[in-house]
Amino acid sequence: MTLFRKSIITFGLIAFGLFSVLVILALTLMDYQYNDTSGKALLDTARILVTAMGEERLEEYCLDSGRSIDDDLRNWLEAIRDKGNYRLSLIGTDGEVLWDSAVVRAQVNHIDRSEIRAALEGREEITRRDSISTGMRQLYAALPIYCSNGNIVGVFRLSIIIPDFWRRAAPVMPPFLICAAFLALAVFAAVMAFSRSFARSLRRLADKAETAAGKRYRDNLSRIAVISGEAEEFLALETALQRLVAELSKRAEQAETEGRQLQAILNGMSEAVLAMDDNLILYLANPNARALFGFDDVQGSSLLEATRSTELEKTARKVLTEGSSLEMELKFRAGSGEARTEQLFQVFAAPLSAPAGVVMVMENITRLVRLEQMRKDFVANVSHDCAPPSSL
């Protein structure tokens, strides 16, 4: 399987998973916010109703469970019952319903209701469940009723029938899901475009590797890709990199061998060899050059500092300026300490191109010149002695 197909499948599943998780989290959060907001609003309404009815009156009804409802409270209950939105209940400490605005018949004991237990413990509670009395889904808010000495004498409960969140959200769900789907498609399209571009780049590199490897390698690559399930592009690049590493290692070994051979050649030369960059900073000198000028390390030293010869420096600069080889004889004092003597050298200087610089080969011809001079003097003396006497 190619990288593009793999990435499309993988990122498609990831995008779908993220889309599903985000939608579920968003809807869950909205459901929580809806219930929390509705519960707080109902609790605030319950507090207002308790204040409007009067806590003293509610306390009296709780303490005297047989007391009949007065006209004002009856009007309250009838108005609420006729409106049909809210349901008011007054429950005693034993869980018995003292009166209820929605149910007039006898009701079951409410002591097992969570909101009633919480209110009897002195806490305001909000719950949501199906009402056993009405058979409808309701939201409950319960408040404790205190007497003058601070004891709890009953519970005031307010409930309301509220639609389920999913039912209320149903009208806006299609646009929400459509927008979310478009967003997921946009992300998927962006990922697909990136994957295609990335796969094309890898494919070009893989094609070059396959072309260099030949048909046999391509057949083996396809077979390995099918067996391992890995992308062909990465397998091709991996093989190409392995071959590149092997080739670089081979070339490094060859370069090291050639370096040792070159060092052996330089060490065996009777001439002094100097190599420098375009700033005339030395980076190579064979043993004869180091012995000739009396230095051990050439790294970072200029030609003038190492040889103390202005003639060599002028020659090197001339070669750099003209860009051509130069051969000449130079006479200068060589050696170190008291052993410095004037000697004659045949100097060959040539420019270097990569990197730019100059290489100098210096051959000491002092002895040859002396021998030549001695030969000339000998020939002259012999010619003079063997010449016939001049006639008088």
Residue 312: CB atoms within 10 A of its CB come to 24
What is the number of alpha carbons within 13 Å of residue 204 lying toward its C-beta? Answer: 5
Query: In percent, how much of the chain has pLDDT > 70?
Result: 71
Q: What is the mean pLDDT of the chain?
A: 77
Name the class of domain 3-169.
alpha beta
Which whole-number Å values give the CA distances from 210 to 1, 165, 244, 376, in the listed order?
16, 60, 13, 73
pLDDT (average), residues 313-333: 88
Report pLDDT for 233.
61
Q: How far apart are CA 230 and CA 238, in angstroms?
A: 11
CB 135 within 8 A of CB 87: no
How is 144-182 classified by DSSP, letter by letter? Answer: EEE-TTS-EEEEEEEEEE---HHHHHGGGHHHHHHHHHH
Higher-confidence residue: 316 or 373?
316
Model confidence band, residue 392 (pLDDT cutoffs 50, 70, 90): very low
Report pLDDT for 144.
92
Handedness of CA 45, 51, 57, 59 (dihedral sign): positive
Is residue 291 pLDDT above 90, yes or no? no
Report the phi/psi class of residue 350: left, alpha or beta, with left for phi > 0 and alpha for psi in -120 to 50. beta
Model confidence band, residue 100 (pLDDT cutoffs 50, 70, 90): confident
Angle, helix 232-268 to helix 215-228, in steps of 10 degrees? 130
Report pLDDT for 223.
47
Tell me which DSSP letter residue 337 carries: G
Is residue 158 pLDDT above 80, yes or no? yes
Report helix, strand or coil for 54. coil
Model confidence band, residue 215 (pLDDT cutoffs 50, 70, 90): very low
Is residue 98 pLDDT above 80, yes or no? yes
Tell me which DSSP letter residue 335 carries: S
Report pLDDT for 297.
77
Model confidence band, residue 60 (pLDDT cutoffs 50, 70, 90): confident
Give 129-144 pLDDT, tens digit per residue: 876 655 567 889 999 9
Report pLDDT for 41.
87
Is residue 64 pLDDT above 70, yes or no? yes
Is residue 175 pLDDT above 80, yes or no? no
Q: How far apart are CA 333 and CA 307, in angstroms?
A: 10
Ramachandran angles phi, psi of 46, nearest 5°: -60, -40
CA angle 206, 208, 212 (to 5 degrees): 115
Q: How far apart are CA 184 and CA 191, in angstroms?
A: 11
Report pLDDT for 220.
52
Which whole-number Å values give the CA distances from 237 to 35, 201, 242, in the listed order?
57, 11, 8
Q: Over the Cα atoms of the chain, what is R_g? A: 53
Report pLDDT for 300.
79
Residue type, 342: E
Query: Which residues lie closer than 8 Å to 12 by C-beta, 6 or more apart?
Result: 188
Query: pTM of the entire structure?
Result: 0.42
Report pLDDT for 216.
45
Ramachandran angles phi, psi of 259, nearest 5°: -65, -40
Is residue 153 pLDDT above 80, yes or no? yes
Q: How far apart are CA 222 and CA 230, in angstroms?
A: 10
Q: Where are the domains of the chain?
A: 3-169, 270-378
* Across 162-166, 285-289, 359-363, least confident range: 162-166
Length of the chain: 392
Q: How far apart are CA 5 and CA 8, in angstroms?
A: 5
CB 118 within 8 A of CB 111: no
Q: How far apart are CA 3 and CA 151, in angstroms?
A: 74
CATH superfamily, domain 270-378, is PAS domain (3.30.450.20)
Tell me which DSSP letter residue 308 carries: -
CB 204 within 8 A of CB 4: no
Is residue 226 pLDDT above 70, yes or no? no
Q: How far apart are CA 194 and CA 83, in angstroms?
A: 61
Are the folds of 3-169 and 270-378 the same?
yes
pLDDT (average), residues 88-94: 87
Per the structure block, which two tokens stand in for 177? 């899901």
Task: Tabulate helix, strand, coil % of the chain (nearest 5).
Answer: 60, 20, 20
Query: In percent, how much of the chain has pLDDT > 90?
Result: 9
User: What H or E segment, with its residue span, contains residue 30?
Assistant: helix 3-53
* Across 33-47, 92-106, 218-232, least confident range: 218-232
pLDDT (average), residues 180-194: 75
Which among 333, 339, 277 has a CA at the least distance from the CA of 309? 333
